Amino acid sequence: MQNEPKTGLALFVAGTDTGIGKTHAACTLIHALRARGLAACGMKPVASGCLETPDGRRNEDALALQAAGSEPLPYESINPIALREPLSPHLAARLEHVTVAMAPLRSAFDLLRATHEAVVVEGVGGWMVPLAPGLLASAIPRDWDLPVVLVVGLRLGCLNHAMLSARAIQADGCRLAGWIGNRIDPAMAAVEDNLETLRQLLPAPCLGVLPHGLDPVQAARLDLTPLLDHRPVD
């Protein structure tokens, strides 16, 4: 079949909050997968805060995912719903009289899976951000049966945010496949102690810790074993 995925390796990148480096971690994952010989790409199903350009609306995060992929892809295949205002998607969509629905998002995802060995889907905001009335961002990994990689922004309060996010992910019936620590606050006190606490309390392995200020290509040394070991066999 034309839209049948080349492999079953696809995952969802969630965050403990907005602005904690989901895109940085997602791009790092893409480069790490590419370094292992896989044709990999990223996807940002819904993005708000898009800029008007001569080529159409563009979102900074989606452009970063586009650049990280194994091959050039049309922007619309990576970010099928691009909203102008930098608000929660359900509010940005309401201002434009746009309805965020799962069907076009799933169609774009299936096309990417048909031509790539790995697809990294980045969420928007935190785990339970509304996309539309009655539709949360968590519906994407749940309905598409995607394992979840949680990005933990390493700053004061990250322990609580990480634990609550992990609990919500599992309560929604999703598999937390691993987590990535991101050094968004280089001055964070007791960072190693916090990382050790996260390793003890989170019910999934740590795939890596991203240093502050390092670009995704340089930061691509992640332990992907927990992800690759669960890859379905064709």
Q: What confidence category does residue 117 fall into, taking pLDDT thresholds of 50, 70 and 90? A: very high
What 3-state class would DSSP assign to 187? coil
List the chain domain ranges.
Answer: 9-228
State pTM to two decimals: 0.91
CB 182 within 8 Å of CB 208? no
The tens digit of pLDDT for each residue in 101-115 reads 999 999 999 999 999
Residues 219-230 have a mean pLDDT of 73
Distance CA 219, CA 181 (A): 12
Catalytic residue, candidates 24, 31, 44, 116: 44
DSSP code, position 77: H
* Structure confidence at residue 220 (pLDDT): 65
Query: Which position has the token pair 């904690």?
Result: 20
CB 204 within 8 Å of CB 179? yes
Helix axes 22-35, 60-68, angle to 10 degrees: 10
Rounded to the nearest integer, the mean pLDDT of the chain is 91
Kindly provide the residue ranges of all beta strands, DSSP E only, lying in 44-83, ordered along the sequence: 46-47, 51-53, 56-58, 81-82
The tens digit of pLDDT for each residue in 4-41 reads 444 568 999 999 998 899 999 999 999 999 998 999 99
* Structure confidence at residue 229 (pLDDT): 66
The question of whether 6 is a catalytic residue gets the answer no
Q: Which amino acid does the sequence have at 167?
A: R
Q: What confidence category does residue 83 fall into, taking pLDDT thresholds of 50, 70 and 90? A: very high
CATH code of the region 9-228: 3.40.50.300
In degrees and rounded to multiples of 5, residue 228 shows phi and psi of -70, -30
Q: What confidence category does residue 231 fall into, taking pLDDT thresholds of 50, 70 and 90? A: low
The tens digit of pLDDT for each residue in 151-194 reads 999 999 999 999 999 999 999 999 999 999 999 998 999 999 99
Cβ-in-10-Å burial (0-12, 13-18, 19+) of 143 comes to: exposed
* Structure confidence at residue 44 (pLDDT): 98
